[in-house]
Chain A
């Protein structure tokens, strides 16, 4: 009788400890997940910022270089495509991020072709409006680099957490999925540089 009571007690204590541990590690995962989502919304913000600059940039270039309509159209098209891809914060899978990144780097490529074309138009290069837009674009590319790096670090910390024992048990129980990363792409994300 006495033995039964004490073993029940032990089981209860063990269960309580497990419950407490599960509770705290679940909360830790939620917090970490929130961190990744916050980092993602920063990434979207800075990409949106770049997209917002483009109509102005295209209009400015058009004023000086109407012959370059194909380059200009390519930028506008790439912009439409890139802004069309929106990933909600709970769908940050590897595939989704890869798609997002592909569309954005296509836009980066189109943009750098546009900047290269602008080199051929001295009047355009000399215009203050273009120079300012150019600098804003440069600052935005810097912001993109920072926020991408920040997102990758946050996502990496989260992914490590959900894979590590014993937190992975809780992560598996409540469907905490692995998040994707941005891959370094060769030169495409670099801000096109213009010397004055």
Chain B
């Protein structure tokens, strides 16, 4: 009896330790910011842009994503949590899935602004698919000639904005897969599915009506209530996933991967 209790206690302690360990390791990895929800391309966690600047950068990058499918994520943080700046940016790129999984055409621009106690650091990490269009030397040139001079004057927005313009110029030569070009297929599938649904429910209704022909009015009413939300749900779903692209908002990250291409600098 005693032994059994001891054993139980030991299992309990083990489980406790395991969960504690899991919690600790989760806390350790939380230096990397979680993927933004709703998805955004510009994540000014350090607060170095004005809301206007953030919005204009976001619009520019979302338009670029819409027209070429290349995703440039701009992230600013005040603390790298002990990571190398390049590793930090790559973790973001892979963790959020910047770029599409077909092309791996994401770019992460990470800025850690200069503060009183620490130097400024910046990196551009390029997804596998864009390494040819944007070689490391080019990233370094952008950091050295465009970003750091602006950053030194405290002008973070122009540094980042001009760097993005240059990156967009380079990336658009490589991959030009318009987002709208892929949509018709999805829309077609959705339409077919919707028709099938309608047909299916029509059959069910018809069958039921036949079974209890002349049935009470109340049961007919119930059926309508039952069918209604399903259609409502279906249309709502399509609205939320496709509406993003049409309204000019960001459609979300695509699962791109990063292999360490890019460059970093400090000032």
List chain A positions with a Cβ less than 8 A from chain B: 42, 46, 131-132, 135-136, 138-147, 195-196
Which residues of B are found within 8 Å of A131, using beta-carbon distances? 140, 144
- Check B263 against A138 for contact (C-beta < 8 Å): yes
Q: What's the Cα separation between A136 and B261 when bound, in Å?
A: 9
Give the Cβ gap from A64 to chain B, nearest Cβ, in Å.
Answer: 19
Which residues of A are found within 8 Å of B135, using beta-carbon distances? 136
Partner pick for B259 among A135, A141, A146, CB 8 A cutoff: A146
- Check B136 against A135 for contact (C-beta < 8 Å): yes
Binary interface encoding of chain B residues 114-139 relative to chain A, with 1 for a CB under 8 A from any of its CBs, else 0? 00000000000000000000011101
Residues B128-163 near A (CB distance < 8 A): 135-137, 139-141, 144
Q: Given A135-B137, A135-B140, A146-B258 in contact, is the A196-B90 Cβ separation under 8 Å? A: no
Q: Which residue of A lies closest to B137 (CB)?
A: A132
Total number of B residues with any Cβ neighbor in A under 8 Å: 19
Q: Given A139-B260, A143-B259, A147-B259 in contact, is the A132-B140 Cβ separation under 8 Å? A: yes
Which residues of A are found within 8 Å of B262, using beta-carbon distances? 139, 142
Q: What's the Cα separation between A195 and B266 when bound, in Å?
A: 7
Q: Given A131-B140, A132-B137 in contact, is the A138-B259 Cβ separation under 8 Å? A: no
Q: What's the Cα separation between A51 and B86 when bound, in Å?
A: 22
- Check A196 against B259 for contact (C-beta < 8 Å): no
- Check A196 against B265 for contact (C-beta < 8 Å): yes
Which residues of A are found within 8 Å of B136, using beta-carbon distances? 135-136, 138-140
Give the Cβ gap from B120 to chain A, nearest Cβ, in Å.
Answer: 12
Which residues of A are found within 8 Å of B100, using beta-carbon distances? none
Q: What's the Cα separation between A141 and B260 when bound, in Å?
A: 8
Give the Cβ gap from B141 to chain A, nearest Cβ, in Å.
Answer: 8
Is chain A's interface secondary structure helix, strand, loop, or mixed overall? helix
Partner pick for A146 among B90, B139, B263, CB 8 A cutoff: B90
Give the Cβ gap from A16 to chain B, nearest Cβ, in Å.
Answer: 37
**Could you list 24 examples of A-B contacts with CB < 8 Å?**
A46-B259, A131-B140, A131-B144, A132-B140, A135-B136, A135-B140, A135-B263, A136-B136, A138-B86, A138-B136, A138-B263, A138-B264, A139-B139, A141-B260, A142-B86, A142-B87, A142-B90, A142-B261, A143-B259, A143-B260, A145-B260, A146-B90, A147-B260, A195-B266
Which residues of A are found within 8 Å of B263, using beta-carbon distances? 135, 138-139
Q: Which residue of A lies closest to B140 (CB)?
A: A135
Which residues of B are found within 8 Å of A139, using beta-carbon distances? 136, 139, 260-263
Which 9 A-B pairs rank lowest in CB-CB distance, beginning with the nearest?
A: A142-B260, A139-B136, A143-B260, A135-B140, A146-B260, A135-B263, A132-B137, A136-B136, A146-B259
Q: Which of A135, A141, A144, A146 has the most CB of B within 10 A?
A: A135
Residues B171-191 near A (CB distance < 8 A): none
Q: What's the Cα separation between A186 and B85 when bound, in Å?
A: 20
Give the Cβ gap from A148 to chain B, nearest Cβ, in Å.
Answer: 10
Which residues of A are found within 8 Å of B137, using beta-carbon distances? 132, 135-136
Residues B78-92 near A (CB distance < 8 A): 86-87, 90
